[in-house]
Amino acid sequence: MPRELGDKVIVITGASSGIGAATAFECARAGMKVVLNARRLEQLQEVASGVRHVGSEAHLVVGDVTEPGISGRMIDAAQEQFGRLDAVFANAGYGYQRAAVDLGRDDLRRIFDVNFFAAVDLLQEAARRLIAQNRGGHLLMCSSCLAKFTLPQNSAYSATKAAQSHVCAAMRIELAPRAIYVSSVHPVTTATEFFEVSRRLSGGGTAQGSVPGHTPKWFVQSPQRVARAVVKCLRRPRPEVWTSFTVRAVAGVMTVFPSFADLILRQAQKKDRKGM
């Protein structure tokens, strides 16, 4: 039987745009109340307005996910504003394209702080509160298809996503006796501002476009598709959320046959260099 979501409460980070904003809207349409977090107040207010427009409630917690104590503040807000906590979606994150040999220690620390440590901190804090409530719950983390394989110039981002996936897998087993579900979400290339930010952080300027120009169309999805998959998982929990069977199959093949994967990726890298 699917789980009823009406009047349940979810905390979503990175909620000012992209997958986070789309998930907030989908959760609201399902009857959930949402606590929204991001650094940009104006954009968060627009998302909150959209949530209220579909008849649900929203509360904002503005701030960087790496701020000390912010996970507790978000969960406090859920419990104080709405009287309960049922789920969290650790979605905030970023990436950049840079060769592994050129990655500085500060670059690595920052991306792990945002993508990994802040996400783990939110799930840990939520798990402690859910255990205290003693009525179960659901923890979700936005990983990536690149948790299962990597691409040239993307080693740092892929490493954070692989780390997220492994933590979710361990927590899923550890928290099962408490009726707390844990799911990792594995989108493919998603048409959001993610890639514009990534290009800027990588020193590639501010070229327009929500996805890289060389990305195959079958590898690109909308944030709404990911959001619908997240809500489907909230209704019927599962270990991993994939929005492309094809990419999931490719990930499996690349894991089983790493030499074949290397060959394909080297060819792709050559084509990228010719196109530069």
Q: Which residues of 190-218 are buried (b: 16+ CB within 10 A; e: fewer)?
A: bbbebbbbbbebeeeeeeeebbeeeeeee
> How does DSSP classify residue 31?
T
157 catalytic per annotation:
yes
Burial (0-12, 13-18, 19+ Cβ within 10 Å), 267:
exposed
Round to whole Å and give the CA distance between 222 and 131: 34
Residue of 94, 96, 157, 181 with catalytic role: 157
- The CA–CA distances, whole Å, from 24 to 131, 217, 219 equal 24, 26, 24
Radius of gyration of the chain (CA): 18
* 217 token code pair: 């169309």
The DSSP-derived string for 170-217 is: HHHHHHGGGTEEEEEEE--EESSTHHHHHHHHTT-TT---SS-TTS-G
Catalytic residues: 157
